[in-house]
Every structure is written in C-alpha cells, then in structure tokens.
Structure 1
C-alpha cells in the first residue's frame, strides 16, 4: 500500500464515514482518521488518544488547497468533493481495504438502500434534457446540466459541490450514467462563474 499523507488519511476517513453523500462532523472524522493512522493522529506520549488539533489542521489544509478533495469547516463539518471521490476511485487498489469499510459503513448502507428503493436519482438523470442530449451526442447547456443536480446560479458553492458528489455516488455502478455525470459536473459547477465576473465588473 502507498504511503498516505495526513491529508490523504483525512480524505479516506471521510469516505469511510459516507462523506461523499453527507456532511461528517469534525470529531467523527478525527476518530476515523485516528483508526486509520494512530501514529499520525495520536498523542506522542499516549498514541491511543486522538489528537484532534492534528486532524483539524489536516482537514483545513486539504480544504484550502487549489483542487480540494474535501470542503467544509471545523464548526459545520466536512464532505467530499467530486475531486475527492475521483481520488478514491483512482487509488482503489492501493487503499482497497479502507474502501471496503466505506462501502459497508452504516451511513453509506442506509443512503444506498434509500437510493435503490426509490430509484429517483437515476430516473431523474435519465429523464433530464441534459442526459437526452448527451445520449444523442449533442451538447447541453450549463443550466441544463445544473438541473440534473437541482442547483442554479444562486446555490452556494459548497452546496453545489456536495450535491454533485452525492449524485455521482448515487449512480455508481451504472457505467452510462457515471460517464454522463463525470462530464456534466464541471459544466454544472461553472454555471455561476460568468455571473460573478459580470458582477465584479459592475462594482
């Protein structure tokens, strides 16, 4: 297995706790990170105790990066971004044991059970204008892509990325929908960018 950095461990900890589909409390993330690497996130004299400050620092540094794999805050909690989900997928063989835990965690099981039971998420994607155009090899607009994730130009940035990551998780296992979602995410998340540039010019 590759050598994980402290930031890698915090991302993995969020994944184990279902952070790709929900917000995870900072203290819960700390306990999970410590369970993965007690040496990195334990007290020097008492390694069995969680060093909450060390976890907080790693979470904050990862969230403040140029392409953060997580987003959130110490007070509000943390969730994974599409970049974080992609990182887990790209390193599935290297961190396979931890991913197995994530796939069977209670929070993830409950969420996936609800998704399978209703089928609402997959149905919404397949009946969307964006997917229909994509399936025909045609281009779709940022507004159409955003509609898939139920976001618009007024949706806060963190909420947009959370919804995108959640939808990506909900269609996991369906290669066609997964391919579409991967293409739709950056288009949808770019919806607010032109408005921001325009507002900056008006000030």
Structure 2
C-alpha cells in the first residue's frame, strides 16, 4: 500500500486522481477498469475486497471516480462508460504534489503494441508543439502583444459552441502534450483562461433557440 510512502493522508479520491495521472489521464481518456486496477495498486485496502484484498473492488473505484467527477471543482471528468481524464485543476494538483508520483510502479509488462503507442504519442506531442508555435496567438504572445480570446481558442481547436466539458478536455490534452517546453507552458497560463472565456454572441444564441 503506497499510502505509507507519503507524509500526507490520501483520500480515496486522491488515489483515483493519482492513478489516472500515472496512466496518462492528462492527455487521454482512461478506461474505468484500468483506473480501478491502478488505484488498487496504490491502495489495496481502499480498492480491494475486504476478505480478498488482492482482488480489485471495481464498484469502489467506480463510485469514487463518479463522486470526484461530480464535485464542485472536480480534478477529473468523464463517465463510467466512456472513461476518465484529468481536468486542468487535476493536472495542477498533481504538479503541486510531485512526490505523489515519486514511487510509481507500472505493473503492465511492455508489449509491441505499447511501444507503438508510445511512438505515436511522441509524434502526437511533436505535432502539438508545432501547432502551438505556428499559431497567431503564440506569435503575438512571443512578441509581447495581446491576443484575442478567439485566437487563443483556435490553438485548442475550440469555438463558441464547444461544450464546456470538451473545452476542458481539449485544453488539458494540449497542455499535457506540450509539457516540458518552458515557453509554451508560460503561454498556456495565459492562453487557457482566455480561450475558456470565448462565448457565442448573444444574438446568435437567441436565434439558435428559436
């Protein structure tokens, strides 16, 4: 049980957030069962059967994931059927507590499919960095000029009519894919809030409701 390795007392919700982070949930949607297995690896007492702690208690993981996702300021979003991913707040919480991932143990053995997936993720990250760097918003920011909410939103491929959950997912995914590039990370701190402020014109919203 890895909870003993920390000086903080982790809740079951904390464990689920960490599990998603370990599985790459900042940039991808993680299946509920995979999240349950990862949570069980962190804390068998909380996510194992009472009589047989070596067995994963899927119901406990499902309930905890759902409760965290329904919270006032959730660190994760998703559903039991479609899977889960970290919200920007979830990413920030992980970054603020780096020691929580210090003793990560990946129990899934490397496979050819896994290697191919990692190569694909590397290509995806490279494309994401390039996408940010060639954007109008990033160029203006680099020159010390202001960019508009629409220009910021364009970096994340969202517009006025993108649903709130999709906005959160897209900003979190691009933020994770470009992590490690100091200039882009600094840009993201300004671009994400600006992009999330983009709203449809009131007149067009009224027309759509008629």
Q: Considering only aligned residues, what root-mean-square deviation do their CA atoms show, in Å?
A: 2.5
Provide the rounded CA distance (Å) in 2 between the counterparts of 1:126 and 1:140: 14
Provide the rounded CA distance (Å) in 1 between the counterparts of 2:82 and 2:100: 30
Partner of 2:40: 34
C-alpha deviation, 1:150, in angstroms: 0.8
**Which residue, 160, 170, 175 being the options, matches 2:167?**
160
Partner of 1:44: 50
Partner of 1:4: 10
C-alpha deviation, 1:121, in angstroms: 1.3
Report the TM-score when normalising by structure 2: 0.83
Kept in 2, the 8 Å contact 1:168–1:182? The answer is: no
Q: Map of 1:1-203 to 2, 5 A cutoff?
A: 1=6, 2-98=8-104, 106=114, 109-115=118-124, 119-192=126-199
Larger-Rg structure: 2
Provide the rounded CA distance (Å) in 2 between the counterparts of 1:191 and 1:130: 14
Question: Which protein has greater RCO, CA pairs closer than 8 Å, 6+ apart?
Answer: 1
Distance 1:37 1:111, change over 3 A: farther
Secondary structure at the residue paired with 1:93?
helix
C-alpha deviation, 1:22, in angstroms: 1.0
Secondary structure at the residue paired with 2:77?
strand
* Count of matched residue pairs: 195
Kept in 2, the 8 Å contact 1:41–1:52? The answer is: yes
Query: Structure 1: which 5+ residue stretches go unaligned?
Result: none
Partner of 2:3: none
C-alpha deviation, 1:94, in angstroms: 4.0
Report the TM-score when normalising by structure 1: 0.86
Provide the rounded CA distance (Å) in 2 between the counterparts of 1:13 and 1:126: 31
